[in-house]
């Protein structure tokens, strides 16, 4: 019988994973430009450059442009991956130079600084096709709560490169990586959990299930490492991951198989898949952010928190899977047109609470 917490098992699974596309995408420096008054863009620049695990890493400084923009400025800004314009008044959106930026295909994120707009400034704004995010750049919590989600949406699909280049984005990017992978593993566990109720499929699905979920956890760990500015292949970093998480990559998968035998096992099994992935992600992030391992008690607490979230997610996934759809209408008569009833669109999963990423700052 294999020893599931053996590093050799992780080596064999890691050997099946090709992380070269992840690495190649992560090391490409994104092009960001900031437009606006120097005090405001200086604050934003500082938030982007400060973040966890930055010792010894080069600092990326985005170029800044001041209003009014010249014709050459507007032309140069068309070549950036993302432009962020900090406004002092909402009506500045009507300026010809900013309207020229709106017409360009490159994404444009507009921020209205509350401090500049005054206390009577709008709570939100929209001018034509451009939505303006109202925030307080002098308040770091406001930036974390209001600005970073807008960044996340703008950099979706390229978040590893952005987090590597701008450490301030590392906490929200890693948080999203963890939650997304938790849901992927929970959804996969639900599907195989239902299949495993059929006796002939129990053993093959259980083995494949263990391997797939472990692969996803290893990929999550590698993505966090890339987002935090680490280098190397998965094989290079695997001993580090195993030492940080311990036996956590695999023992939780064994626990899932045992839970499948209990009444209501599919929900519990799905919840544990979520929880194991959540605890793994938190442990890897914490090590990179604070250069220390979670204690056994902290790892247990992370798993418990993941289990709570996982039960919520599992219940919603099961309810969604059971939701009936309208059957297609029967054909009436020869050559009659068939009217097929469209299935109802599933309600979006209620947003889970923000994960409890490490509780202390240094």
Position 355 scores a pLDDT of 46
In a domain, 145, yes or no: yes
Instruction: Say if residue 211 is in the same domain as residue 309.
Output: yes
Instruction: Say if residue 128 is in the same domain as residue 266.
Output: no
Instruction: Say if residue 150 is in the same domain as residue 235.
Output: no
Handedness of CA 311, 245, 355, 111 (dihedral sign): negative
In a domain, 335, yes or no: no
Instruction: Say if residue 307 is in the same domain as residue 179.
Output: yes
Position 127 scores a pLDDT of 56
Extract long-range pairs of 190-198: CB within 8 Å, 24+ residues apart.
190/266, 190/269, 190/270, 190/314, 190/317, 190/318, 190/321, 193/260, 193/265, 193/266, 193/269, 193/270, 194/266, 194/321, 196/260, 197/266
Of 37, 320, 49, nearest to 191 by C-alpha is 320
In a domain, 150, yes or no: yes
Instruction: Say if residue 176 is in the same domain as residue 303.
Output: yes
Instruction: Say if residue 252 is in the same domain as residue 133.
Output: no
Going by their DSSP bridges, the two strands 82-87 and 32-35 should be labelled as parallel
* Residue 65 domain boundaries: 31-154
pTM of the model: 0.81
Instruction: Say if residue 216 is in the same domain as residue 274.
Output: yes
108-113 sheet: strands from edge to edge: 64-65, 32-35, 82-87, 108-113, 130-135, 125-127
In a domain, 163, yes or no: no
Q: How far is CA 197 from CA 166, 190, 203, 238, in A?
A: 47, 11, 11, 34
Structural domain tally of the chain?
A: 2
Of 316, 314, 183, nearest to 259 by C-alpha is 314
> What residue ranges of the chain have pLDDT lower than 70?
1-7, 117-129, 193-208, 247-265, 323-362
Position 169 scores a pLDDT of 97
Instruction: Say if residue 191 is in the same domain as residue 84.
Output: no
Position 270 scores a pLDDT of 86
Instruction: Name the β-bridge partners of 64.
Output: 34
Position 333 scores a pLDDT of 40
Distance CA 132, CA 25 (A): 30
Instruction: Say if residue 122 is in the same domain as residue 178.
Output: no
For 87: left if phi > 0, alpha if psi spans -120 to 50, otherwise beta; the answer is: beta
In a domain, 233, yes or no: yes
Instruction: Say if residue 131 is in the same domain as residue 256.
Output: no
Distance CA 69, CA 99 (A): 11
In a domain, 347, yes or no: no
Instruction: Say if residue 122 is in the same domain as residue 43.
Output: yes
Which residues, in sequence order, are CB contacts of 145 under 8 Å at separation 6+? Answer: none
Q: For residue range 128-184, what is the model confidence (pLDDT) as tens digits?
A: 568 899 999 999 999 999 999 999 999 999 999 999 999 999 999 999 999 999 999
- What are the structure tokens assigned to 288, written together? 């990179």
Position 17 scores a pLDDT of 92
CATH of the domain at 113: 3.40.50
Of 209, 332, 311, 200, nearest to 265 by C-alpha is 311
In a domain, 299, yes or no: yes
């Amino acid at each position: 019988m294999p020893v599931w917490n053996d590093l050799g098992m992780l080596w064999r699974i890691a050997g099946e994973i090709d992380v070269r596309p992840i690495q190649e995408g992560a090391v490409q420096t994104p092009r960001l430009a900031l437009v606006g008054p120097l005090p405001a863009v200086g604050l934003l620049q500082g938030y982007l450059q400060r973040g966890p695990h930055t010792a010894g890493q080069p600092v990326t400084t985005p170029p800044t442009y001041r209003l009014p923009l010249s014709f050459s400025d507007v032309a140069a800004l068309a070549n950036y991956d993302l432009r962020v314009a900090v406004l002092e008044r909402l009506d500045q959106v009507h300026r010809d130079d900013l309207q020229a930026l709106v017409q360009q295909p490159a994404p444009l994120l507009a921020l209205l600084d509350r401090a500049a707009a005054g206390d009577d400034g709008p709570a939100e704004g929209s001018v034509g096709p451009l939505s303006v995010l109202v925030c307080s750049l002098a308040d770091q919590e406001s930036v974390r709560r209001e600005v970073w989600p807008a960044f996340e949406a703008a950099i979706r699909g390229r978040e590893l490169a952005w987090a590597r280049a701008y450490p301030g984005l590392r906490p929200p990017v890693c948080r999203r990586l963890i939650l997304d992978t938790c849901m992927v593993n929970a959804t996969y566990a639900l599907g195989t959990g239902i299949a495993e109720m059929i006796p002939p499929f129990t053993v093959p699905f259980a083995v494949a299930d263990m391997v797939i979920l472990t692969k996803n956890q290893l990929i999550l760990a590698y993505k966090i490492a890339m987002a935090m500015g680490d280098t190397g292949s998965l094989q290079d970093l695997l001993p580090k991951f195993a030492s940080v998480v311990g036996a956590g990559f695999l023992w939780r998968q064994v626990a899932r198989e045992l839970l499948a035998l209990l009444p209501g096992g599919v929900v519990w099994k799905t919840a544990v898949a979520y929880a194991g992935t959540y605890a793994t992600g938190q442990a890897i992030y914490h090590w990179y952010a604070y250069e220390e391992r979670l204690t056994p008690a902290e790892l247990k607490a992370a798993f418990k928190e993941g289990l709570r979230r996982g039960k919520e997610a599992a219940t919603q996934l099961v309810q969604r899977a059971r939701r009936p759809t309208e059957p297609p209408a029967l054909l009436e008569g020869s050559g009659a047109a068939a009217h097929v009833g469209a299935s109802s669109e599933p309600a979006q999963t209620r947003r889970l609470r923000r994960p409890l990423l490490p509780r202390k700052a240094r």
